[in-house]
Amino acid sequence: MELTFREWLGTIHGLIFGALFLLSFSGGLFALYGLRPEWMTADGIKSRMVQLKIWVWTMAGIAWATVLTGTYIVYPWYRAAPPDGTTNLSSFSKALLLSSEATAKWHTFGMEWKEHVGWITPIAATVVAYVISIYGPKLVNEPKIRKALTWFFVAAFTAAGIAGALGAFITKAAPVR
Amino acid sequence: MTAKENETMKNGLAAAALLAGGFGSFMVGLMTLLTEMSKAINTALIFYKPSGPLSGKTTVAVIAWLIMWVILGSQWKGKDVAFGKVVVVAFALLALGLLFTFPPFFLLFGA
């Protein structure tokens, strides 16, 4: 039971960062939703703000790490063209998927969507983290801003969910080796 | 909470960040669409050969997002803007970004 160097990096990009993203999203959304004056004391709000900033900046940082490692480390291995005459395509994921009609959609639909939609996540997550940081406890009195941030947060998660789920299926069909 | 912290803050910086975020998402989608429509743009956006045009599409989108954020932030800092309208536009741009990255949509425009 061992992983190659590429499989390790693929695991860090997808599984480790994915799990940390999910954790930070859950923590951030919970903290943001609970940021209501009727539910909290002044001390509670200050304490919640510290947690919230940690969660959302962690989420944004992980989102950037995920798209950067994906685009510049894992994706080049995925899309590498096999040399002429190659018959064993197991090390060339994109070519392997496209070699069969039964699996081609994992590239033409799955990877084509994943590689683009995933980039929306760090942008949306950074916006949320920035606004939370500059407004701080004053956000408690800004329900409209909190609501907009919550939906941006959900949009970031949706984009990450699409990219993550497709990545898991593509890795199952044609792992980067 | 102090009286100062209880004050309502101007919404300009939040509006600028959200609108720029929507714009950045839209740019990710737009670059995806443009590379599908034009082989010349597709080739021009290969900034890092091993990653292909994805490197250029995302780099341009991120730079456009940051420039828009700086511009809007400097214009709206310390001001109150029509937050509801800004948020509607921001989410419309975000939705377009999601739509433009959806392969059955952008493949309709294949060169």
pLDDT tens for A131-156 read 999 998 889 889 999 999 999 999 99
Contacts of A120 in chain B (CB under 8 A): 24-25, 28, 94, 97-98, 101
Does the pLDDT at position A166 exceed 90? yes
Does the pLDDT at position B9 exceed 90? no
| Chain A interface, best mutation among B4, B5, B83, by max A CB count within 10 A | B5
What is the arithmetic mean of pLDDT over A87-109? 94
What is the arithmetic mean of pLDDT over B22-30? 98
What's residue A140's pLDDT? 87
What are the residue boundaries of the structural domains of chain B, listed by start? Answer: 11-106
pLDDT tens for A4-44 read 899 999 889 988 998 899 889 888 888 888 888 777 777 78
What's residue B15's pLDDT? 97
- How near does any CA of chain B get to the CA of A48, in Å? 13
Check: CB of residue A94 under 8 Å from CB of residue B70: no
Does the pLDDT at position B8 exceed 70? no
Q: What is the DSSP string of A110-173?
A: IIHHHHHHTTHHHHHHHHHHHHHHHHGGGGGG-HHHHHHHHHHHHHHHHHHHHHHHHHHHHHHH
**B110 touches A: beta carbon within 8 Å:** no
| Total-model pTM | 0.92
What is the Cα–Cα distance from B12 to B87, expressed in whole angstroms?
A: 12
B9 and A127 in contact by Cβ < 8 A?
no
What is the Cα–Cα distance from A130 to A75, expressed in whole angstroms?
A: 29
The residue of chain A nearest to residue B29, with distances taken between CA atoms, is: A116
Query: What does the DSSP 8-state code read for residue B101?
Result: T
B102 and A113 in contact by Cβ < 8 A?
yes
Does the pLDDT at position B62 exceed 70? yes
What's residue A177's pLDDT? 81
What is the arithmetic mean of pLDDT over B85-100? 97
Does the pLDDT at position B59 exceed 60? yes
What's residue B3's pLDDT? 46
What are the residue boundaries of the structural domains of chain A, listed by start? Answer: 5-80+90-173
What is the Cα–Cα distance from A60 to A112, expressed in whole angstroms?
A: 23
